[in-house]
Amino acid sequence: MIVAALAAGLAASAALADLSGRARVIDGDTLEIRGVTVRLLGIDAPEADQTCARAGDRDWPCGRWVTQELRAYLSGRTVTCAEEGQDRYGRVLGRCRVGDADLSATLAVSGLAWVNPRYELTYQPQEKAAALAGRGLWAMQSVPPWEYRATEAAALAARPPQEAPRTGCVIKGNISSGGRIYHVPGQEHYDRTRIDTARGERWFCSAAEARAAGWRPARR
């Protein structure tokens, strides 16, 4: 459950806001507002496919759970973001709020995201409060997403690349909880995406072919 009241003290200034509207939740720290992808500043939420361990429940999908919690919290609400640059994927880096509450602070104090010590430490007090109260991810066995990504990257590097069955047909049509999505070479999740034709996944020779078959492009 998201704890909004404790985060109100870190509200962003309305004068700085340059993007406002209803948000589509992509994952636990990424939104889309009016067609613009916004990466929330100051926090790092579990990856969408990341799992954690709860008592009596192994490999629990905590990444998907955090996304669902954020989606429920933002349902019907207006999100306002102040842009503070872009990341290497072209996403807007945003300091966002819902009403008077700083959204990153809200997620940290609810135990739904970590503060990466390599970057800014703005929300460490909220993270500490969640840890002491055993809220959210702090109530289970979990690893910060940057450690999870490093482990996944190492495993990927040790695994031989999956080759397309036909020359030039290298677009990967993947089926996930987000639907039918295609990945082109160079995108963030292309290398880690494995095609399983037994599940209905497939390779495409062009983006137009993928769209015509009902797949949509990956956002990053």
State the Rg of the chain over Cα.
19
CA distance 67 to 82: 22
Show Cβ contacts of residue 171 under 8 Å, excluding neighbours closer than 6 positions: 182, 183, 184, 185, 203, 204, 205, 206, 207, 209, 210
201 is catalytic: no
Catalytic residue among 24, 58, 64, 91: 91
47 is catalytic: yes
88 is catalytic: no
Catalytic residue among 47, 69, 127, 201: 47
Catalytic residue among 39, 64, 97, 202: 39
Catalytic annotation, residues:
39, 47, 91
